[in-house]
Structure 1
C-alpha cells in the first residue's frame, strides 16, 4: 500500500502548474509594494503653476523621483528574474509526461525560493551599494537555478519526459539546451557579482542586461548555443 501511495502521490502536473502560476503571480505583485509614492511637503499648497512655491515643489518631486530610480531598476530586475524562472519551469512542465512525489517536492522547494524573491529584491533595492545585499540576491538566483536544474535531471533519470515515437530526439535536445542555458546563466551571474569589486551598481546593471537577454533570446544573444 505504501508503494502504491508513493507511486501516485503528487503526480498531477495540472495542479502543480496551477500552484506555480499562483505563487509566481503573488510574488510578482509583491515586488511593486516596495515602490512608494514620494511625499513632497506642502505640495498641495504650493500655489499656482507660475509661483515660486509651485516650482520649488516640482523640483522636490523630481528629486524624489530620481531617488526612486534605483528601486525601479531593482523592481525591473526582480520582475525579469521571476518571469525568466516562470518560463523555465513552465517549459519543463510542458515536456513532462507525468510527475511523481519526489519531483513534486523538488518543485515545491523551487516555489518556496520563488516566494522569497520579494524579500531579496527589496533588500537589494534598499542597499544597492552594499555588496552583501548583492551576494544575497545572487545566492537566491543560484538556489533557483540549481533547483530547476535538479528537477530537470531528476525527471530525466526517472523517465518522466515525453519520449514518444518520432519526437524523442527533439525532447532530449530541449532538455539538454535547458540544462546548458541554466549553467551558463549561473556562470554569468557569478561573473557579474565579481564585478562588484569595482561597483555594485555595475553588477546590478549587468544582471539586468543578462535578464533582458534571457527574455529576448534567441534574437539577441542565444545562451543555449554556447
Structure 2
C-alpha cells in the first residue's frame, strides 16, 4: 500500500468523525423556551463539541506530521493506524454521551460517561504512541534520527498515555474539569512533539 492511500483513508475517517460531532448540536425553534435559554441549557453539548473538535483536529495535524516521514507502509503500521482510527471514530458517541449525562443525567451517569470518554482518549493516545514508535524506528534505522532523539521524542509524544488516564480520574470528580484538562492537553499537542523537523523530508534522487 502506498503512503498516499494510507493518508487518504485516514483523512477521510477523521473528516467523518469530526463532522459527526456537530450533529448533536440542535435547538427547537418551536419550543416554549426561548432560543437563548435553549442555548444556555445546552452548554454541555457545546463545550464537549469544542473540546472533541480540538482533540480530533490536533490528531489530524500530528497524524500528517508523522506519516509524511513514512518510507514503507507495512502491516503492523496499518494495524496501529486502524486501532488509532477505531478510538477516534468513537469520540462522537462518547462526546454525545458525556454531554447528555451532564445535561440530564445523575451523578453516577456523569461518572460513567466520563470514564467512557476517558477510555476512548486513552485508547487513541496509546495507539498513536505505538504508531509513532513504529515510524521513528525506521527513521533511526535509516539514519534520519538518532536513538537518543527518538527516546526523548517518544517520551514527549507519549505523555498522553499517562495524562489522559489522569484526566479520566479527574472526570470522576468533575466532568467539566476533565474537559478543561483535555483542552489543555490538546494545546500541548498543538506544538511539535515529534522530534522531527517540520520541513518536508528530502526525496531521494
TM over 0.5, shorter chain: yes
Matched, 1:19 2:12: no
User: Deviation at 1:163?
Assistant: 5.8
Asked if 2 retains the 8 angstrom alpha-carbon contact of 1:70 and 1:125, the reply is: yes
TM-score, normalization: structure 2?
0.79
Measure how far apart 1:187 and its partner are.
Answer: 2.1
* Aligned positions of 1:56-205 closer than 5 A: 60-128=34-102, 130-157=110-137, 159=138, 161=139, 167-169=144-146, 173=149, 175-205=150-180
Alignment equivalent of 1:207, drawn from 156, 172, 182 = 182
Distance 2:60 2:152 in 1: 17
Shift of 1:164: 5.3
Moved more, 99-108 or 205-214: 205-214
d(CA) in 1 for partners of 2:145 and 2:163? 30
Distance of 2:183 and 2:126 partners within structure 1: 20
Q: Structure 1 89/172 Cα, relative in aligned 2: closer, same or farther at 3 Å?
A: farther
Give, in angstroms, the shift of residue 93 of structure 1: 0.8
CA RMSD in angstroms comes to 2.7
Q: Provide the secondary structure at the position in 1 that maps to 2:42.
A: helix
Query: What is the distance in 2 between the residues matched to 1:120 and 1:163?
Result: 39
Deviation at 1:153, TM superposition (A): 2.7
In the alignment, structure 1 segments of 5+ residues that lack a partner are 1-10, 43-56
1:23-78 deviation per Cα after TM superposition (whole angstroms, max 9, x unaligned): 11111111100101233437xxxxxxxxxxxxxx7xx2211110122111100111
For the Cα contact (< 8 Å) 2:66–2:135, is it kept in 1? Answer: no
Which runs of structure 1 show a deviation greater than 4 angstroms over 4 or more consecutive aligned residues? 162-165
Kindly state the Cα deviation for residue 152 of structure 1 after the two structures are TM-superposed.
2.5
Work out the CA distance in 1 between the residues paired with 2:182 and 2:131: 24
How many residues of Structure 1 are paired with residues of Structure 2 in the alignment?
Answer: 189
Q: Distance in 1 between matches of 2:160 and 2:65?
A: 17
Q: What residue ranges of structure 2 are gaps of 5+ in the alignment?
A: 196-205
In structure 2, relative to structure 1, the CA distance for the partners of 1:65 and 1:195 (3 Å cut) is same
- Structure possessing the higher radius of gyration over alpha carbons: 1
Question: What secondary structure is seen at the aligned counterpart in 2 of 1:127?
Answer: helix
User: 1:39 aligned to 2:35?
Assistant: no
